[in-house]
Chain A
Amino acid sequence: MNELPDKAGCLALYRDMLRIRRFEERCGELYKEQKIRGFLHLYIGEEAIATAVVMHLDQRDAVVATYREHGHALVRGLPMRSVMAEMFGKVDGCSRGRGGSMHLFSAAHQFYGGHAIVGGGLPVAAGLALARRRVGEGGLAACFFGEGAAAEGEFHEALNLAELWHLPVLFICENNRYAMGTALERSQSEPDIHAKAASYRIASEWVDGMDVVAVAEAAERAVAAVRGSGDPFFLECRTYRFRAHSMFDPELYRPKEEVEEWRRKGPLVTFQRRLEEAGLLNEDELEALEREVAREIEDAVAFAEQSPFEDVADLARDVYTPRTAT
């Protein structure tokens, strides 16, 4: 068993995961109320990864994520209000209501989406890393994707380019075992994803993605490796999605018992137990955290509710950059 950080560090990890969990549970409710529409992909069960990786990044770094990116956006520092307003399709959303749940962006946070073409973000991250290298300030590009991406050509092209050209990319594979409804073993001749990265000579390791401390330790090593060498690193985090792929998914492809078994290994429940056993989290502190998070979420919902929709007259705004902006 790995060693726990100090109490403040532990509570920060727990709080960040709890914040994502409760935010997304609320999003699920808002979806049923039809406040949020379109596709909604929940990260519930996988919170340890974004929490423990993004904490090691700084403002020099770029983040590229997928359509299951609410958690990454929140821990990267995008205000919850702007993320919720985006889900509501409102003009105060981080993408002005143009992107929705799948396309969260923020220049201030160097958060480059929100990509809903599986594998499409990897070459983009390689390019961001190239730009970071040219600037020469030690920044890197952190690229999150699921194990489903490993079947795409763009995954292999990007891994090859990153190692060949020594690009500072931190690849983080969130292996939740299912590409929508297709199990890993049914889609990969080599189901060991981190071995694929090794075949491109990229330094790689895998970690228990349900153990937030283990992910934090691995991510710290990985970030240091990329900054130190300027070369890519591949971190596979083995995890599980507790909820359906999206809100339209009847989950015919996996047994309920399997989901239940993984829920018992969940990142929040196991970390909470561990903190309680170590005397680092008592009931009062837990309640205070829950209250704090609930307050923030209700504030974000109220903000999203009152935020206006964009004027239809602005429909064509930002198809192109205003010429005066350059």
Chain B
Amino acid sequence: MKKSYREALHDAHAEALRDDPRVFLVGEDVGRYGGAYAVSKGLLELFGPERIMDAPLSESGFTGLGVGAALGGLRPIVEIMTVNFSLLALDQIVNGAATIRYMSGGAFSVPLVVRMATGGGRQLAAQHSHSLEGWYAHVPGLRVVAPATVADARGMLATALADPDPVIIFEHVGLFAVTDELPELPQAVDIDRAAVRRAGSDVSLITFGGSLPKTLEAAEALAAEGIDAEVLDLRTLRPLDVEAILATVTKTHRVVIVDEMWRTGSFAGEIAALLAERAFFELDAPIRRVCSEEVPMPYARHLEQAALPAVAGIVSAAREVVGDHE
């Protein structure tokens, strides 16, 4: 059955709301409007205003309400319209949700799910387009996942809701319209494991979230040149599947990391540091990173495209690391 990423998310919500009366969705325009990205369209009619709560514009308020509701035994899903707006809720996520289990000596857990749109490519300029996944992945106490495929969009919500601790789900705006075949019955997703999306032997392209389609496209282009690239989708940024990262590098000995964050302090930097510490002698070439240019996201299409990781950039980085040792 062909489904879009958006439909997969919608179905995952409907299923969660149907299966567990503790689950509710709260966020800006999730009800009558149907969700800024139409993920929750029609859910208000199905589940009513107690389960689909249209929140006023108060990110910190309704995210904190989610923390409290989770502490109180409910299973809230908080939708924040974009990662940029989530900065208004950072206190509740970082000082609250992430710390309470530890700070209370294990007295309380916070089974909260926070979903937000992330990333650029839709000409939404410098206050709606950034990728800050790594900021959240920096914080112990959180789980951070980035579904990059339709199947993961369908399966990750249930796994996140079953988790006893706060889970942040990043949904890249470039993925909502992507379609793929889905099985009739939803599949459980193990959010602790990275996934090899394309097997290869010459170079490892490591990525996550919205950069996966570009990276797969680059791998196909490289194949046409005779370079056999392996594509590893991290899926979960915290906890990181270190074994999968080491396994692919041990296989190919060459690495390009694709990450839409700005290069300085990017999540790609963390992967590179990990490889330098744990796989230095496996590397046959310097690690390359393909990240966003260090500018606030511009509006004009040609500038925005120049700022974001692109297929051509991934291809040329891969060529370089492969060429380096041949």
In the complex, which of the residues A112, A120, A153, A157 contacts B108, with contact meaning CB atoms closer than 8 Å?
A112
Q: A129-B68, A131-B68 are in contact. Are A123 and B105 (CB under 8 A)?
A: no
A96, CB-defined interface residue at 8 Å: yes
B8 contacts partner chain A, Cβ-Cβ < 8 Å: no
Please name the residue on chain A nearest to B57 by beta carbon: A157
Tell me which of B61, B76, B96, B108 contacts A161 (CB under 8 A): B61
B165 touching A154 by the CB < 8 A rule?
A: no
Tell me, yes or no, whether A138 is within 8 Å of chain B by CB.
no
Q: A87–B70 Cα gap in the complex (Å)?
A: 27
Q: Is the CB of A191 closer than 8 A to any CB of chain B?
A: no
Q: Do A122 and B64 touch across chains, with their CB atoms under 8 A apart?
A: yes
Please state if B101 and A319 are interface contacts (CB–CB under 8 Å).
yes
Inter-subunit contact A95/B61 (CB<8 Å): no
CB contact under 8 A between A135 and B73, given known A103-B103, A113-B104, A164-B56? yes
Give 3 nearest A-B pairs by CB, closest first.
A127-B68, A123-B64, A131-B72
Starting from the known contacts A126-B61, A160-B61, 11 additional A-B residue pairs (CB-CB under 8 Å) come to A95-B107, A97-B105, A98-B102, A99-B104, A105-B100, A105-B103, A107-B107, A113-B100, A127-B68, A158-B64, A161-B58
Q: Are A154 and B68 in contact (CB under 8 A)?
A: no
**Which residues of A line the B interface, CB within 8 A?**
62, 64, 93-99, 103, 105-107, 112-115, 117, 120, 122-132, 134-135, 141, 153-154, 157-158, 160-161, 164-165, 317-321, 323, 325-326
The CA of A129 and the CA of B69, in the complex, are separated in Å by 8
Q: Which chain A residue shows the least CB distance to B94?
A: A117
B-to-A contact residues, CB < 8 Å: 50, 53, 55-56, 58, 60-74, 76, 91-92, 95-96, 100-109, 140-141, 143, 162, 164-165
Q: Are B101 and A123 in contact (CB under 8 A)?
A: no
Q: Is the CB of B74 within 8 A of A131?
A: yes
Report the tally of A-B residue pairs with Cβ distances under 8 A. 153
The interface residues of chain A lying within 8 Å CB-to-CB of B63 are 123
Find the A residue at minimum CB distance from B62: A161
Kindly list chain A residues whose C-beta atoms are within 8 Å of the C-beta of B165: 320-321
CB-CB under 8 A from A120, the residues of chain B are 64, 91-92, 95-96
| CB neighbours of A127 from chain B (8 A) | 64-72, 74, 76
Q: List 28 A-B contacts (CB under 8 A).
A: A94-B105, A95-B105, A98-B105, A107-B107, A107-B108, A120-B95, A120-B96, A123-B64, A123-B68, A124-B71, A124-B96, A126-B61, A127-B76, A130-B68, A134-B50, A135-B72, A135-B73, A141-B68, A154-B64, A154-B91, A157-B58, A158-B65, A161-B62, A318-B101, A319-B102, A319-B140, A321-B165, A323-B164
Q: Which residue of chain B lies nearest to A96 when distances are taken between CB atoms in the complex?
A: B105
Contact A105 B91 (CB under 8 A): no
Q: How far is the CA of A122 from the CA of B76 in the complex (A)?
A: 17
Q: Which residues of B contact A62 (CB under 8 A)?
A: 71-72
Bound-state CA distance A107–B110 (Å) is 13
